Structure 1
Amino acid sequence: MYRNSRGHPGTVLAAVAVAQFAVALDLSVVNVALPAVRGALGFAPLGLSWVVHAYALTLGGFLLLGGRAADLFGRRRLFVLGLAVFGLCSLAGGLAQAPWQLIAARAGQGLGAAAAAPAALAMLTTTFAEGPRRVRALGVWSGVNAAGGALGVLVGGLLTEYAGWRWVMLVNLPIVAVALALVPAGGVPADARPARRDRLDVLGAVLATCGVGLLVLGVVRTDAEGWGAPVTWVMLVAGAALLAAFVRAEGRTSAPLLRLGLLRGRWVAGANVLVFLSTAGQFAAFYFVSLYMQQVLGMGAAATGAAFVPFSVSLVAGTLVATRITSARTPRTSLVPGALLAAAGLAWFAFISPDGGFLTDVLGPCLVTGFGVGLVIAPVVAAATTGVAPHEAGMASGLMNSSRQLGGCLGLAVLATLAQHRTGTATGPTALNDGYALGLAVAAALFVLAAVVAMGVLPGRPAATPGPRSEPTAETEAERTAKNRTEAPQR
């Protein structure tokens, strides 16, 4: 039985899927348009990267806060607010006349996505009870999320070449309009008024947002500053220190932004490690294969985008198979072979040649990698929300989305640095090919490590489903001890 009987599950799933497609699309849709954006708005070479980084920075920094705010103030409310901000900032970006205006719009898009994405996933996990129905719903969510990221390259290339770069931003408007139209259509229920509302953990929110933000900023700026620059290490160390302070603060508050006990569960902890590793490998694979086709094979932007279509089709097929497997068994049953298959595909990619072609060097590895990734992305989301109580669904969703964003940023930055080190100062196709091949080989190793984590950490049996809880509370260890002492004489 669905946990939320006031909403129509199919409409909830449709609204969430459409919104997630827009969020995922914007992670890659602007990349192909960057040269056109630079020419139109007069960006400096280093400033152009902030068109990408501004979105990643605000999205990664505010995901935990967005997830907890959804639990406290209403998932539908945060979902609608986040989508509205995302759509308005997309319009502002499409109308931008100066570099700072586009960068500010991209930052606003990230902020809106950080509110909408965890609220959307929390809506799914509270609408569909644990079991086959939730697995199928999360399979759709995961497939749409991955397809949005993969198709972003194609959409960005086609729009830039045939409609102009501004449509890379404006394309979000009809997508957001469809998602918002589904909300009041009788399918997405209004937020229930809680019996008691915990206060928002302001200190935890500041520490987590600033800590994650500094880590993301330090990582994404390595393309300009380098890993050896003092400013890079200052940001990374400061970010790590703030996150350590966040962990300490969360253990002492009665209403934490992230309840540390959530991480003691093998499902949640193991799934978040898997999300981090697999996203790092997946983002890096997109990056290197795209550059290989453009810089080595000489393919245009639209042709490069079209070349990712087989990957998207294979990924959706893998997601469908994973959904059927996970519905009957546990997520680990699909995660281990999926991670190993993705690793095999990326290892095959590592044999790319400067004299190769799409049919000989890209198509086969693309199909294998896409199917393997599809076997991973749906079950890992199901695992990350297994055993989570309904009142903490937003918290778990924000944590998983943060792991995804950090994995993508950190993995791409580290692997790009390794590839650049292999390439050196050379700019010819052979040198570039060698660097991309190394990056793809390391991405394959990340998926092998993900398979090891799945076998060693995730349980082999499904977790017990927690019952609903009408009044969300979170006791600290001190509170539990005091209550036990009070109750002891009565026993």
Structure 2
Amino acid sequence: MVALYRTGFYSSNHVRLSNVVRYWRFLMTTPKSPSPAAADAVPTDPATTTGSRSYPSLRAAWIPLAALCLAFFVEMVDNTLLTIALPTIGRDLQGSTTSLQWITGAYSLTFGGLLLTAGSIADRFGRRRVLQVGLTAFGLMSLLVLAVTTTGELIALRAGLGIAAAATAPITNSLVFRLFDDQALRMRAMTVMIVVGMSGFILGPLLGGTALTHVSWQWLLLINAPIALIAFLGVRLGVDPDRPEDLTRDVLDIPGAALTILGIGLACYTLTSGVEHGWLSVPTLLSASGAIAAGIGFVVRERRAAFPMLDLHLLHDRTIRGAALAQLGTSMAMIGVLFSLVLHFQYAYGWSPIRAGLANLPFILTMLAATPLTELLVARYGRRVACLIGAVSLTVSLAWLSWAVDHGYLMIAVGMVIMTVGLRTVMTICAVGLIDAMPSNRTSLGAALNDTAQEVGTSIGTALVGTLIAALVVTVLPLGAWSPALVSSYFHGERVAYLALMVLVGVVAVLGALTMDDSRTAEEHHDLDAV
């Protein structure tokens, strides 16, 4: 979930790339022994270590760690890989603005809606087994793009890929913990995972734009098949199977999962229906009512279920609640801006896909440069203030972008830099803080909750911006170059969309930041009784 600034780690900037290589080598070295305080603060979880192979260093675990990182990378890349190809897909398949938004949103919808369910299934039937099934399904379904002839078929395929990806995302983080007994190694391995995931999310548009200059857009999905195969083999060779005694026998919360997907889906469709049928039309009102009913039903179900998909008592912890809320806000801003700028660069500016992809370099470079800043802010001010600074930067960037849309690329790039500082800060602090605040035997649930918040935000952000542009500009994207009048209209629609995001994201992200704790470390876990 984590996130869009991920394309930077594989940019053509050789200086940046060499820094990444040196950073990787540093992480792969054998760590010092953890301090007694750190060992006491993060108790070993027997469920993740008993009976499993324990590696003495990240270097020794390079096969399974690389496989898990590759699996996580392809999940995150697929969130944004097709965004750069949306104009091309729209022309090829004769798609409307709303159908293009669902090509992106369908993946996020099923991915986010099923993350918690997939985590529960993995805890019951085996984490390695479910991960391998997910990778196999992901690779095979990617081949089906060759049979796609309509946007409806592509949306269905993307939804299926989201389901397969949901079977891998939280499990990759859980299995990383299982590779090591040493807590310092676990923290370093999680750092590698977060860096790879964040790189993958933003690498999608750049990779997609580069590929589109040489091959058709279908290849953007076909490439998933060999990547999934490599990840499958690495997991098979390097990760031990789960032991039966380490798995739970809790009954799966199928109604809870169904209510989650129904609520998110209907909420997103309400926005689309408002444009197509009118805001007071029967379909719009019915879908809105259904979304509210599903949300209420989910809360009631989780409170009464003997084995809930999400134990709502966990949300009583302010850090868990604040981190999830802030992640929701940042993801809305991230995907909303990315979605609109793809159309901005390719349609309004008439740029080629690769040039539009390279236009994201401010995101990439700032994501890399902001790492020391994030660490400095947390060390000096604590999580709450550091996260608040990031949330304010995010809000300011949206206000800036609303002004910059018709002031040229340089001004837009300035907005990208401000936004990335906010995104990098909030998303890193919240990801570490949320998992850190979870009971030591529920860290995989924390990872799933973090990803779920991000994917829900992605669905809402895509639906909001896509719907506003469709309502204010044009429902069906015209073929060929845009007229000056249409470009001006699009800029106006972008401006309104960014202002709407500014208000929504500002409230959600700032409120989440204010709810965070004041910890200045990443080495405290709460006991189960504390939650």
The structural deviation recorded for 1:320 is: 5.3
Q: Percent identity?
A: 27
Cα pair distance change 1:90/1:303, threshold 3 Å: same
Aligned to 2:144: 92
Structure 1's unaligned 5+ residue stretches are 470-491
Aligned to 1:232: 284
* Counterpart-to-counterpart distance in 2, 1:307 and 1:113: 28
Higher mean Cα deviation, 137-146 or 152-161? 137-146
| Structure 1 residue 411 displacement after superposition | 2.7
Change (3 A) 1:22 1:269: same
Query: Structure 1 residue 79: deviation in Å?
Result: 1.9
- Find out whether 1:352 has 2:404 as its counterpart: yes
1:113 Cα deviation from its structure 2 partner: 0.9
Is residue 202 of structure 2 the alignment partner of residue 202 of structure 1?
no
Give the drift of 1:45.
Answer: 7.8
Distance 1:45 1:296, change over 3 A: closer
Change (3 A) 1:421 1:104: closer
Moved more, 388-397 or 368-377: 388-397
Q: How far 1:399 sits from its partner (Å)?
A: 2.6
Q: Which moved more, 1:129-138 or 1:444-453?
A: 129-138
> 1:362 and 2:420 equivalent?
no
Deviation string 1:407-436 (CA, Å, 9 cap, x unpaired) is: 122233234445566658994333322322
Q: Within the alignment, does 1:192 sit opposite 2:251 as a pair?
A: no
- Structure 1: distance between partners of 2:96 and 2:496: 30
> Structure 1 residues 245 and 396 mapped into 2: Cα distance closer, same or farther (>3 Å)?
same
Pick aligned residue for 1:386 from 436, 440, 444: 436
CA distance in 1, matches of 2:382, 2:126: 30
1:486 is matched with none
More relative contact order, 1 or 2 (CA 8 Å, 6+ apart): 2
Say whether residues 1:159 and 2:211 are aligned partners.
yes
CA-to-partner distance for each residue in 1:329-382, whole Å, 9 max, x for gaps? Answer: 85435322222233333333222153x432x22332222322321112111111
Q: Equivalent residues in 2 for 1:409-424 (5 A)?
A: 409-418=459-468
Query: How far does residue 34 in structure 1 lie from its aligned partner after superposition?
Result: 3.8
Partner residue, 1:248 = 300
Report whether the alignment pairs 1:171 with 2:231: no
1:402 CA displacement: 2.2
Q: How many Å apart are 1:90 and its aligned residue? A: 0.9
Structure 2 residue aligned with 1:81: 133
Residue 190 of structure 1 aligns with an amino acid whose one-letter code is P
What is the TM-score of this pair, normalised by structure 1?
A: 0.82
Q: How far has the Cα of 1:139 moved from its partner? A: 4.2
Structure 2: which amino acid aligns with 1:18? Answer: L
Pick which of 176-185 and 273-282 moved more: 176-185
Which of 107, 110, 113 is matched with 1:55 structurally? 107
Residues 115-143 of structure 1: CA distance to partner in whole angstroms, max 9, x if unpaired? Answer: 11122233346667998766654444333
Once the two structures are TM-superposed, the CA of residue 258 in structure 1 deviates from its matched residue by 1.0
Residues 324 and 200 of structure 1: CA distance in aligned 2, closer, same or farther (over 3 Å): farther
Name which of 480, 490, 493 aligns with 1:432. 490
- Trace 1:319-330 onto structure 2 (pairs within 5 A): 319=371, 321-322=373-374, 326=378, 330=382
Judged with a 3 Å threshold, the aligned counterparts in structure 2 of structure 1 residues 13 and 378 are, in CA distance, closer, same or farther, namely farther
Cα distance in 2, alignment partners of residues 261 and 124 from structure 1:
26
Q: Would the aligned equivalents of 2:275 and 2:470 in 1 still touch at CA under 8 Å? A: no
Structure 2 unpaired stretches of 5+:
1-38, 476-483
Q: Which residue of 2 aligns with 1:488?
A: none
Task: Tell me the matched-pair count.
Answer: 467
Q: Aligned residue for 1:407?
A: 457
1:199 CA displacement: 1.8
CA offset digits 1:147-170 (Å, max 9, x no partner):
323222222222223111221111
Q: What is the root-mean-square deviation in Å for CA atoms of aligned residues? A: 3.5
Structure 1 residue 89, shift from structure 2 partner? 0.8
The two structures have a TM-score, normalised by structure 2, of 0.77
Match of 2:370 in 1: 318
